[in-house]
Amino acid sequence: MARIVLEDVHKSFNGAPVLAGVTLSIEDGETLVIIGRSGTGKSVTLKHIIGLLAPDRGRVRVFGRDIATLSRRELLAMRLKIGYLFQGGALLNWLTVAENVALPLREHRHELQDSEIAEIVRQKLAIVEMLPAHDKYPSEISGGMQKRAGLARAIVMDPAIILYDEPTSGLDPVMASSINQLVRRTQQVTGATQLVVTHDMASAFSIADRIAMLYQGRIIAVGTPDEIKECADPVVAQFIRGDPAGPITNGDGPRGCSSEEDDNAHAA
Ligand SMILES: Nc1ncnc2c1ncn2[C@@H]1O[C@H](COP(=O)(O)OP(=O)(O)O)[C@@H](O)[C@H]1O
Ligand SMILES: [Mg+2]
């Protein structure tokens, strides 16, 4: 069953189309990675899933519910079932790692005793291998450790869905691959449905059950990592190779892997 369904989602900002008919389903328990260049609307897509942005046209269904039909209260309740790892980690600098991870519990789980909160925080820090940094401040730990701490906070409410915005950005290759492993492991430990957005191809291939490519406001290819590797679409092939020459530089280009061809996604 699909946990997240985007149906023909359109979104423009000041008349400029960013999403021009995104259609995509993320199945229960899978890790799907959306790849695409910077500025293509990956973060905008994630924001639609937690209802921070509403589509101009089309529908977003999460847990089977159309987000546009939810009351404010229902939307807030739904967000509690979604963990969101923000691009920068978004830790509060004046709180320790443990205090950062405890924040959602302090805000939403008033029935818990301090000792219970401390125990849950330790469990989550153990999952991301950050127990030793329990009492450190964000400025005292590396970028990779900040991502780990951010992930511990994202999973502290036991979300059924985890969204990751560029989990490896700003990390060196060694740290990036340990974060990739952690994303895989988090799925095994939590059983959550995971949606990752990234422009890091190496990361996408090591994390994904399926990869979807966002280009000019639409999903132009979806498949397993092997299928995407063999995709003949020149846009997809160029992006995977990281080749400076190809259709992407020119903006527009022919497409072969899309289910629909001859579209006018680029029309204003
Ligand atoms: N709230 C907003 N208001 C106006 N423009 C926005 C807003 N959010 C995103 N955009 C624009 O939408 C485009 C896609 O942004 P984004 O989703 O952040 O790209 P990325 O794929 O790098 O995550 C960018 O051109 C960005 O400037
Ligand atoms: Mg982004």
Q: Of 92 and 265, which is predicted with more confidence?
A: 92
On average, the pLDDT of the chain sits at 90
Pocket test for ligand 1, best of 12, 43, 213 (most atoms within 8 A of CB): 43
Residues forming beta bridges with residue 198, ordered by sequence position: 35
Residue 263 has pLDDT above 60, yes or no: no
Indicate the SS3 state at residue 36.
coil
How far apart are the CA of 144 and the centre of ligand 1, in A? Answer: 25
The pLDDT value given to residue 257:
52
Q: Which of 86-95, 115-124, 169-178, 251-260 has the lowest mean pLDDT?
A: 251-260
**197 burial type by CB count under 10 A (0-12 exposed, 13-18 middle, 19+ buried):** buried
Pocket test for ligand 1, best of 11, 35, 42, 44 (most atoms within 8 A of CB): 44
Distance CA 130, CA 124 (A): 9
Question: And the tokens for 87?
Answer: 């691009």
Instruction: Tell me the CATH number for domain 1-81+193-262.
Output: 3.40.50.300
Residue spans per domain, the chain: 1-81+193-262
Range with top average pLDDT, 185-189, 210-214, 260-264: 210-214
Residue 235 has pLDDT above 50, yes or no: yes
- Give the tens place of pLDDT for each residue, 55-73: 999 999 999 999 999 999 9
The pLDDT value given to residue 267:
37
**268 burial type by CB count under 10 A (0-12 exposed, 13-18 middle, 19+ buried):** exposed
Is any ligand 1 atom within 6 A of the Cβ of residue 42? yes
Residue 264 has pLDDT above 60, yes or no: no
* Contact yes or no for 235/247 (Cβ under 8 A): yes
Which ligand has its closest atom nearest to the C-alpha of 34?
Answer: 1
- Give the tens place of pLDDT for each residue, 207-224: 999 999 999 999 999 999
Nearest-10 Cα torsion for 14, 17, 22, 26: -50
How far apart are the CA of 264 and the centre of ligand 1, in A? Answer: 21
Which ligand has its closest atom nearest to the C-alpha of 38?
Answer: 1
Sign of the alpha-carbon dihedral angle for 170, 228, 24, 195: negative
Q: Of 243 and 258, which is predicted with more confidence?
A: 243
